Amino acid sequence: MYLCVLFPSYPLTPHSVDGASGAFVAPFAHPKLLWDFKLPRVVSINTSGHKFGLAYVGVGWVVWRSKQYLPKDLIFELHYLGSVEYSFSLNFSRPAAPIIAQYFNFVHLGFEGYRAVAKDDLKNARLLSRALEKSGWYTVISDIHRLKVEDHLQKNANNDFDEENPEVSILPLGNNIF
Amino acid sequence: MKKIQRSAFYRLVTTFFDVLQNYEEGLPVVAFRFSDNFQETYPEIQQKWIQILLRAKGWIVPNYELAPDLEKVQILRVVVKENTTEAVSILLLILLSSFIEAVVQLVDRLLEDIVSDVEYFDLCKS
């Protein structure tokens, strides 16, 4: 993202994003975040299907912007029984169970389902973070429970932000209510 | 709510936020360490003990050093998954606090014993 912002005129070097576990959280929890194909130089993204993809261990994903970016060397050509079979995989032969589990969850949960899971995860993570911090024994290093600095809630923290009920708040309205 | 907001007839006084967008973006991962205050009060207590004690209860919460230049900082890390419900999070919090309380109690008692031993030793000398 920073490359694109800082050097917009720099020749478009193709980038591959290692999405790891985050690429199954970011699109659902933070759809506006710029890290994916919205950036012109990103041509491929990989991510784990297990972890936040909600499938079993054994499925990972690589997605290309278009066929032209997939190196031909990676495609395996099999001339078998009089026809040509093209396959692209890390292993030639492997169980399909994790892929079917992933497929099921895609169909079953959909975008809204994955978003609901991501929101729940983050809510529980915030609960954990706040409780640890309030205990006094621990300091939390991760930032997901902190409000964005530019956020108006932060600016008006003393007036409107309800510490005891941090998930709900009231807009700062000032004199404009009536 | 959005419909009221768009209508020309009413003015919305309260709003419920889509709370997610008010927080820093990130993964549902909590990284934490002993607070400075706690480390100063109890330098004898090692953070890795928490990992060991949690492991005994069937939890895998790694304690490890950060990358070079911050290698002196140790963190404990919890990944919050879809099966880490609110109840499970609270269970973890109970364990985390009860371990600390137990270890603190133990260290306090040991220190007390050492102090009384030293006093007894001084008394014998005089």
The DSSP annotation for A103-157 comes to HHHHHHHHHHHHHHHHHHHHHHHHHHHHHHHHHSSEEE---TTSBPTTSHHHHTH
CB contact under 8 A, B19 and A124: no
To the question of domain B26-125 being in CATH 3.40.50.720, the answer is: no
pLDDT tier for residue A176 given thresholds of 50, 70 and 90: very low
Q: What is the pLDDT of residue B119?
A: 82
- Contact assignment for A122 to B32 by CB distance below 8 Å: no
Query: Which of A29 and A173 is assigned the larger pLDDT?
Result: A29
* Residues 6+ positions from A157 with CB-CB distance below 8 Å: A147
Contact list, B29 vs chain A (CB under 8 Å): 125, 142, 144
Q: Taking the complete model, does pTM exceed 0.80, yes or no?
A: no
Q: What is the mean pLDDT of chain B?
A: 88
Buried b (16+ CB within 10 A) or exposed e, B4-43: eeeeeeeeeeeeeeebbebbebbbbbbbbbbbeebeeebe
DSSP B60-115: ---EEE-STTSTT-EEEEEE--TT--HHHHHHHHHHHHHHHHHHHHHHHHHHHHHH
Provide the residue ranges of all domains of chain B, joining segments of one domain with +.
26-125
Report the relative pairing of strands A76-80 and A60-64 from DSSP bridges.
Answer: unpaired
User: What strand order describes the sheet that includes A42-48?
Assistant: A15-18, A42-48, A60-64
Give per-residue pLDDT as tens, A106-161.
Answer: 999 999 999 999 999 999 999 999 999 999 999 999 999 988 765 554 455 444 55
SS3 state of residue B58: coil
Nearest to A138 among B24, B33, B90 (CB): B33
CA–CA distance, A168 with A161 (Å, rounded to integer): 8
Question: What does the DSSP 8-state code read for residue A35?
Answer: -
Between A2-16, A92-106, B64-78, the lowest mean confidence (pLDDT) is in A2-16
Residue B96 forms contact with A (CB below 8 Å): yes
| Residue B21 scores a pLDDT above 90 | no
A170 vs B111, higher pLDDT: B111
Percent of chain A having pLDDT more than 70?
A: 75
Q: How far apart are alpha carbons B15 and A169 in whole angstroms?
A: 7
ipTM of the complex: 0.80
Flag if A167 and B19 touch (Cβ within 8 Å).
yes
Mutate to test the interface with A, among B16, B30, B41, B47 (most CBs of A within 10 A): B30
Mutate to test the interface with A, among B1, B80, B83 (most CBs of A within 10 A): B80
A144 and B30 within 8 Å at the Cβ level: the answer is yes
Segment of A87-91, A106-110, B18-22 carrying the highest mean pLDDT = A106-110
Q: Which of A40, A141, A173 is nearest to B78 (CA)?
A: A141
What is the rounded average pLDDT of the residues B68-82?
A: 94
What average pLDDT does this structure show over A74-92? Answer: 80
Q: Which residues of B touch A29 (CB under 8 A)?
A: 20, 25
Which residues from chain B sit within 8 angstroms of residue A153, using beta carbons?
Answer: 22
Q: How confident is residue A53, by pLDDT bands cut at 50, 70 and 90? A: very high
Among the partner residues A21, A126, A139, nearest to B32 by beta-carbon distance = A139
Per-residue pLDDT, A86: 84
- Residue ranges per structural domain of chain A: 2-138, 147-178
Q: Which residue in B12, B13, B16, B32 has the most chain A C-beta atoms within 10 A of its own C-beta, making it the best mutation to test that interface?
A: B32
Our separate counts of H helices and E strands in chain B read 4, 3
The pLDDT of residue B74? 95
Phi-psi bin for A172: left (phi > 0), alpha (psi -120 to 50), beta? beta
Mean pLDDT, chain A, whole residue set: 82
CB neighbours of residue A156 within 10 Å: 15
Amino acid at B84: T
Residues of chain A positioned with their CB less than 8 A from the CB of B75: 141
Does the structural domain A2-138 have CATH classification 3.40.640.10?
yes
CB contact under 8 A, A139 and B24: no
Q: What is the average pLDDT across A87-92?
A: 72
The C-alpha atoms of residue B29 and residue A126 are separated, in whole angstroms, by 9
* pLDDT over 70 (residue B83): yes
Residues B22-36: tens digit of each pLDDT: 789 999 999 999 999
